[in-house]
Amino acid sequence: QVQLVESGGGLVKAGGSLRLSCAVSGSTFRINAIGWYRQAPGSQREFVAIINSDGSTVYKDSVKGRFTVSRDDAKKMGYLQMDNMKPEDTAKYYCNAIVRGSYWGQGTQVTVSS
């Protein structure tokens, strides 16, 4: 059974940085894509960024130039570097991995104070 565990969330001031990590375990198959999503209270879960197996990336417009998604296939890890953070980035962040199916982590809380 594929399992994802996110880490790295926390409280940061506006303009600060955080790096989220996503550890993927339980599969010997190649990870096709690793995506990051977020959900603020009272809102639907939304797409943030994704990195495909060929290294190509896609970002939500509002995070372009501030967030960087990456992966380490040897370690089966995904990362989301978040810089110049804003209060509107406050949400619970979830990792999603496509590995012969779609799998989600439990999420990690990110809070940005003004």
Which residues on neighbouring strands pair with residue 106, listed in sequence order? none
Neighbours of 66 (CB within 10 A): 15
Query: What pLDDT was estimated at residue 27?
Result: 84
Residue 28 has a pLDDT of 82
Per run of 10 residues, the mean pLDDT along the chain (length 114 residues) is 96 98 91 97 96 97 98 96 98 96 97 96
Residue 78 confidence (pLDDT): 98
Of the candidates 30, 32, 93, the one whose C-alpha atom is nearest the C-alpha of residue 60 is: 93
Instruction: Write down the pLDDT at residue 29.
Output: 87
Q: What is the pLDDT of residue 52?
A: 97
Measured in whole angstroms, how far is the alpha carbon of residue 107 from the centre of its chain?
Answer: 9
> At residue 72, what are phi and psi to the nearest 5 degrees?
-130, 100
Ramachandran area for residue 73 (φ above 0: left; ψ -120 to 50: alpha; else beta): alpha
